[in-house]
Amino acid sequence: MSNPDSTQRFLFDQYNIRGEMVGLDHAYKEVLKRHEYPRQVQLLLGEFMAATALLASTIKFEGSLVMQLSSTGQVRTIMAECDQQSGLRAIARYNDDFSGNEPMIESGQIVISILPDNGAKYQGIINYNEQAGLSEAIEGYFTQSEQLRTRLWLTCDGNKAAGFMIQAMPDAADSHSLHLSDDDQESWDRISHLSSTVSADELLNLDNPTLLYRLFNEEEVRIFESKPLEFRCSCSRERSGSAVMQLGLEDARALIEELGYIAADCQFCNTQYHFNAHDIDALFSDKSNHRH
Ligand SMILES: [Zn+2]
């Protein structure tokens, strides 16, 4: 396959065009292992994860990128998050009476959030049209929000997922414009045309150098070192504790009285965090100690 569980950048030096490839194998399977999904949801989830990894590979600072789809169709939400330390996680929710014969996504909307470790978060919202698909929605996001010409190809076979993206880099002098010089326009048209010949089978089954050679054998392509990706969840006992504290001491104690403990399960990785009476006292006394 495309190099599994990694992203890899490539560059056409003479044209100001960059590209990114992603392949997901174990990272995707780890997500499927944690929840049972209908096949159509599995496929969407794979493409969604590949897209999120491609988008995350374009951010230049430490932090993470979250992509969240909401819809009124058979699939209610899909959320994927990728951080700069190679962690990727994802989850989908669908109707209890799921039927593969009805539209998967209706009135779809995707919120893309970029969350830097330091600094303000950025959010962009795009509409998702089921006929046009995820690739086109993301191409629109880059055109509108980032003023970057972008083409994207995504695929998933239920076992592996892969994605391929090219982007025209802005001219230093003209960084907020989609305008390209005649030469750049011609190069962009040629590289997008060559890229568009990529098949799902090639994306899933060829290693990156072979794929690039097959698409661009008459072009000069510089390929960068690949960056690993793995399934990793950013949940922790501490974070779950903060969520429990939002109940307030009184309600938390009432729940303990009733159930003996409070369970806070991570939806992404199914880790169960349990808090007993002693834990609750410790959490809330900690809070009062640290009150400013
Ligand atoms: Zn988790």
Q: How far is the CA of 240 from the centre of ligand 1 (A)?
A: 10
Q: How far is the CA of 230 from the centre of ligand 1 (A)?
A: 14
Q: How far is the CA of 272 from the centre of ligand 1 (A)?
A: 9
Q: How far is the CA of 273 from the centre of ligand 1 (A)?
A: 10
State mean pLDDT over 152-171: 94
pLDDT, position 176: 59
H/E stretch holding 78 reads: strand 75-83
Q: How far is the CA of 113 from the centre of ligand 1 (A)?
A: 19
> Which residue segments constitute the domains of the chain, with CATH numbers given?
6-231 (3.55.30.10), 237-289 (3.90.1280.10)
pLDDT, position 197: 97
Dump pLDDT digits (tens) for 219-250: 999 999 999 999 999 899 998 998 899 999 99
Dump pLDDT digits (tens) for 64-79: 999 999 999 999 999 9
Query: What percent of the chain is modeled with pLDDT above 70?
Result: 95
Of the candidates 116, 64, 118, the one whose C-alpha atom is nearest the C-alpha of residue 88 is: 64
pTM, 2 dp: 0.90
Q: How far is the CA of 81 from the centre of ligand 1 (A)?
A: 12
H/E stretch holding 238 reads: helix 237-245
Given a contact cutoff of 8 angstroms between Cβ atoms, the answer to whether 46 and 162 are in contact is no
Q: How far is the CA of 33 from the centre of ligand 1 (A)?
A: 13
Distance of CA 102 to the CA centre of its chain: 25
Dump pLDDT digits (tens) for 80-105: 999 988 999 999 999 999 998 999 99
pLDDT for 291 beyond 50: no
Q: How far is the CA of 34 from the centre of ligand 1 (A)?
A: 11
Dump pLDDT digits (tens) for 12-47: 989 989 999 999 999 999 999 999 999 999 999 999
Confidence of residue 180 (pLDDT cuts 50, 70, 90): confident
pLDDT for 129 beyond 90: no
CA atoms within 13 A on the CB side of 70: 3
Q: What is the mean pLDDT of the chain?
A: 91
Q: How far is the CA of 236 from the centre of ligand 1 (A)?
A: 7
Given a contact cutoff of 8 angstroms between Cβ atoms, the answer to whether 65 and 71 are in contact is no
pLDDT, position 292: 43
Dump pLDDT digits (tens) for 132-147: 899 999 999 999 888 8
58-62 long-range Cβ contacts below 8 angstroms, 24+ apart? 58/20, 58/167, 59/84, 59/114, 61/116, 61/117, 61/118, 61/119, 62/116, 62/117, 62/118
Q: How far is the CA of 237 from the centre of ligand 1 (A)?
A: 10
